[in-house]
Every structure is written in C-alpha cells, then in structure tokens.
Homo-oligomer: A and B are copies of this chain.
Amino acid sequence: MANIQQVAEKAGVSVATVSRVLNHAASVSTKTRLKVENAIKELNYEPSMLGRNLRNSESRLLLVLLPSISNPFYTEIINGIQNTAIANSYNILLCETDSNPQRENIYFNMIKNKLADGVISMDPTVNMQKLTELAESHPVILCSEYDEGGSIPYVTIDSELAAYQAVKHLIRLGNKKIALINSDEKFLYARQRRSGYERALKEFNLPIREEWIYHTRDLEFQNGVQAMRMLLELEERPTAVFAVSDTLAIGALKGINGNGLHVPNDLAIIGFDNISFSNMTNPTLTTVSQPMYKMGMTAANMLIMSIKGEQVESVVLDHDLIIRESTMG
C-alpha cells in the first residue's frame, strides 16, 4: 500500500500538498490538485488512519459499553448510536462487559490509551466510581441507566412514571391483585419502577403485598418463567402482572401457558422495553416503549459534542404505553 510520500513523488509535489488535497484545503491550485488526484488513483492510495490519528491524537472511535450483546433491548439503541456516529465520521466499538470488571477495565484502558475518543455506557453494572473518575478527563455519556446525582450526563426515560402508567392501565381494566416481577433493586431503574408500581396501587387504595413482588436474579427468559411459577403457586393469585422487562414478561407468559391458564383472560401481562419479539408472541405483549433509536441518537450526539469540548445537559425522553393482546381481556 502506497504512502503519502510516494504519492507526492509521483505527482511531483511535496507531501504537504498531497495532505492539503486529501483534506480539501482551499489553497491548492486546480492544476496541482489534478496532478495529485491522478497520482492517488494510479497508486490506489488510501491515507492511513494510523498516521492521521496519531498526528491529530484522535481515533474517531466511540466505545459502547453494554452488559450483553444478546439482549434485544440494546439493538435499536445501538442502531441509533451507529447511524449518528457514522454521520459524523465516527465508528463505534461495541464492548460486551458481561458485567465482568476485568473486561470493563480493558475498555477503560482503551480510552486512556487514546484508542477511542469517548464512551457511551449502557451497562447498569458498571463500576460507577471508576467511570466517574474516567469522566473527569474523558468524554463519557450514560444511556438508559444513570447515576442519580452524579456528574456524568445521561439520556434516559422517566421509569417511575412509565411504571405508574402501566400499573394504572392494569387497574383500570379492573385488576385489583397486581404482581410485580422486578429485577435486582440494586439497579436504579428497578427501584424507580417499583416506586411507580407502588404509587399507582396507593392511589387506588390497593394493598401492596410483598408476596406479589418477585425479584429475579437476571433479566433472562428463564427468570421470568420461574417468577411466574412462584406467583401462580400463591394461595391468593394475582390477576395481572407487570414485568420490568419484556424478556421477563415473555418468560411469565410461558409460565402461564404452561399452567393451562390463558392470557389475558386469566391473567393480564405488561412488559417493558418494546423489544421486537414482544410483537411476535402469542398473545402479543402490552409493553412500555422506550424511544430506543432516539435514545441512541441522543447519546451519540451528546458524546460527540462532549468530545468537541462543548457542555452537554442530561436528557429525559418520552415513553409510550403500547397496548396489545396481553391486556385485552
């Protein structure tokens, strides 16, 4: 592969002039520009990013931290990030942490090493202290999960309000016994969604019963199945379930079907996230839709601004309750 030197020789100009042509600098005469462009074509020259990036001390790479690539919740967000990044001549590096601190460290080092220009973290298990430390000297944006009262800019939705509205929807349908399948409350969103759940119940003078609140270890399908099995074994069964993620809700659906019961006739279900599969289940799943693509776009734009040195403000985006068959009793 040719380098800028060889192009310069072939065109009979200096490397500076070639560089100017490459970067569309104004001060190149048409005649020399053509000479250089021809040389570039003849040699099949492509500028090396390595040299360019070293000189400009930027990599034009954005890191995207997420716990697991197989979680469909992230796919649309990633699309939003990716499109925005490409539109600004950035590329993204998807980094699966598996909630593993060692992996996390590798990626933090990539930032320090100048191999990436900034990070968007969507990992709720991220070491927030280390991330905050990193954020002091490098651009960092949080997406979806965030640090309440922290200093890192974030983009998210109002989880408490969304949960409140979802549960209110179940109450309006006549349900008085509403279960919550929550994840571990070490996560902020889990605490917020529980809080919304409780607010709705209180508003309608419905009791908050601990046995109707189930905490799962992970957000996997199987955790939802398991949660539902437990709930169905209770003396007093709930008539509706609010799950804090679609994957859990789909698991719950499976648990109910496996028990010979019918959704929504015997139990209504609401999920959260509006992942693509929530529309493919039988019955289709009522869910809270996060504006995932937009969240991705927003996060990427914020990060790019931040890289440019501009100040950015956190953003809370709107959500939607998508009513489908699983609550059409």
Binding site for B on A (CB under 8 A): 1, 46-51, 53-54, 57, 59, 61, 69-70, 72, 75-76, 78-79, 82, 86, 91-96, 103, 106, 109-110, 112-115, 137, 221, 250-251, 253-254, 257, 276-277, 279-282
Chain B residues positioned under 8 Å from A254 (CB to CB): 280, 282
Of chain B, the residue at the smallest CB distance from A1 is B112
Question: Which residue in B47, B76, B114, B251 is a CB contact (below 8 Å) of A50?
Answer: B114
Which secondary structure dominates chain A's binding surface?
A: helix
B46-A113 in contact (CB<8A): yes
**How many identical chains are in the complex?**
2
User: B110 to A91, Cβ gap below 8 A?
Assistant: yes
A291 to B175, CA, bound (A): 45
Residues of B within 8 A of A114 (CB): 1, 48-50
Q: Which residue from B51, B82, B137 sits with its C-beta under 8 Å from A54? A: B51
B70 close to A59 (CB less than 8 A) = no
Residues of B within 8 A of A72 (CB): 70, 72
Cα of A91 to Cα of B96 in the assembled complex, Å = 11
Flag if A109 contacts B280 (CB, 8 Å).
no
How close is A50's CB to chain B, nearest CB, in angstroms? 4
- A–B pairs, 13, beta carbons within 8 Å: A1-B114, A46-B109, A49-B115, A50-B57, A69-B69, A69-B79, A70-B76, A86-B103, A86-B106, A91-B110, A94-B94, A253-B282, A281-B281
Contact between A75 and B86, CB atoms less than 8 A apart: no
CB A283 to nearest CB in B, in angstroms, measures 9
Contact A79–B50 (Cβ < 8 Å)? no
